[in-house]
A and B are shown apart, each in its own frame.
Chain A
Amino acid sequence: MDTQQHMEDRLWDYIDGMAGEEEKSFIDQLIGSNLEWKTKYKELLDVHQLMQTSLELDEPSLRFRQNVMEEIAKYQIAPATKSYINKNIVRGIGAFFIVMVIGFFVSGFAQVNWSDSSSSTMIPIDFNKVDWSKFFNNTYMNIFMMVNIVLGLMLLDMYLGKKKKELENKTQL
């Protein structure tokens, strides 16, 4: 690291009060005994104090707050995200993907000839002999699509059920 940059970084930490006790006392000594460190410390401290005292915030127009209040009058506070995210749906989707991945692994390992010692690699799988068509044949795709359709219908059913409940609640009120 560049020595000058390293010195500045350590001094900024010291000025910001982020240096540890040991580092703090070490820098105290350096500032007291080394002219270069003392000069740089004073330089950075001046910049720091200048920013603390002189940095100002800009002000928006006088009508700003009124404009915001007029705008928010058109809206309602949205319900908290956690209130409409159904954890069971998230868990269901997660479970589905885990089952899919496990299924692929089981099918894959089922094709491995573990007793075959002719393979020169560490892994006892001859990838040339793996029959990929077993994974991506029509039956597999059909099962995959069917599961997705069933899941989709379940989600639609839950959504419509929720809507129906909301309507019933409104009519009761």
Chain B
Amino acid sequence: MDTGSTDSEIISRVLRGEQQAFAELVNRYQNFVFTITLRYTDNREDAEEIAQDIFVKAYRSLADFRGASKFSTWLYTIVTTSCITFLRKKKLETRSLDDEKVFEQADNQNSGFTANQIEQKSKVAMVNEAIKLLLPDDAKIITLFYKGEQSLEEIGVIMGMEPNTVKVKLHRARQRLKEKMEKKFPQEVADASWR
């Protein structure tokens, strides 16, 4: 499916009326967009619905993409606003990163891993399970940094923050992820080299 064209080339084709070319962009970014929406909803059906809506919005607003940033940065900005709108619609309380109760709630989520299950989990599974225990903003910032190929400046644009704020948030998010792994997967962490 991937023709090796750059995002800009594909966008030009779509803007010239070649609607099917948009499928290439969907193919390139669907996993990332879906992963971020899943971090917010924790429900595959909702996440897929939001992700679909994000691509439709991106398509309809494509003429507004001026190429000042990477297409992915522009797309992830739509992801952020769509996820926030979804949370508002669902009337979920906006949770502060500094709220201790939130951490307790997050701690209690998905905490049903038995010792045997944990032992069988690979490091890959451990990281990917642990990230689900984080708050959506923490999970998103880590995912953007490690999987989204976005710089701190670009993450700042996506999340509407200063790069320095993003840097501090990223530090804290990684620290929390490390704590989650140590707490929920002690055996795996013991096998890992940092303990």
- Which of A52, A55, A68, A79 touches B55 (beta carbons < 8 Å)? A68
Number of contacts between A and B (CB, 8 Å)? 121
Is B55 within 8 A of A59, CB to CB?
no
- Which of A12, A18, A46, A79 touches B192 (beta carbons < 8 Å)? A46
**Counting CB contacts under 8 A, is A35 at the interface?**
no
Stretch at the interface among A69-77, A133-141, A162-170: A69-77
Q: How large is the interface on A (under 10, 10 to 19, 20 to 34, 35 or more residues)?
A: 35 or more
Report the Cα distance A18→B123, complex, angstroms: 27
Closest to A74 in B: B56
- Which of A13, A51, A81 is packed against the most chain B CB atoms within 10 Å? A51
Is B23 within 8 A of A69, CB to CB?
yes
Q: Which A residues are CB-close (under 8 A) to B62?
A: 77
Interface string of B127-164 (1 = CB under 8 A from A): 11001000000000011001100001000000000000
Closest to B54 in A: A68
- Residues of A41-65 at the interface with B, using a CB-CB cut-off of 8 Å, are 42-44, 46-48, 50-52, 54-61, 64-65
Is A72 within 8 A of B19, CB to CB?
yes
Known: A9-B168, A64-B48, A68-B26. A75 touches B31 (CB 8 A): no
Q: Which A residues are CB-close (under 8 A) to B195?
A: 43
Is A46 within 8 A of B63, CB to CB?
no
Report the Cα distance A121→B152, complex, angstroms: 51
- Residues of B153-195 at the interface with A, using a CB-CB cut-off of 8 Å, are 167-168, 170-171, 174-175, 177-178, 192-195
Is B63 within 8 A of A77, CB to CB?
yes
Is B60 within 8 A of A9, CB to CB?
no
Is A59 within 8 A of B31, CB to CB?
yes
Q: Which B residues are CB-close (under 8 A) to A46?
A: 192-194
- Which of A8, A54, A75 touches B127 (beta carbons < 8 Å)? A54
**Counting CB contacts under 8 A, is B3 at the interface?**
no
Is B175 within 8 A of A8, CB to CB?
yes
**Counting CB contacts under 8 A, is A67 at the interface?**
yes
- Which of A18, A51, A76 touches B146 (beta carbons < 8 Å)? A51
Is B60 within 8 A of A57, CB to CB?
no
- Which of A54, A69, A75, A83 touches B128 (beta carbons < 8 Å)? A54
Known: A18-B167, A46-B194, A75-B59. A55 touches B147 (CB 8 A): yes
- Residues of A78-128 at the interface with B, using a CB-CB cut-off of 8 Å, are 78-81, 83
**Counting CB contacts under 8 A, is B35 at the interface?**
yes
The distance from the CB of B120 to the nearest CB of chain A, in whole angstroms, is 16
A-B contact pairs, 8 of them (CB 8 A): A42-B194, A54-B124, A55-B146, A56-B124, A57-B34, A64-B34, A71-B56, A77-B61
Told that A43-B195, A54-B124, A60-B44 touch, could you supply 17 new A-B pairs with CB distance under 8 A?
A8-B171, A42-B193, A46-B194, A51-B146, A55-B142, A56-B124, A57-B31, A64-B52, A65-B27, A69-B23, A71-B56, A72-B19, A72-B56, A75-B59, A77-B15, A77-B63, A79-B63
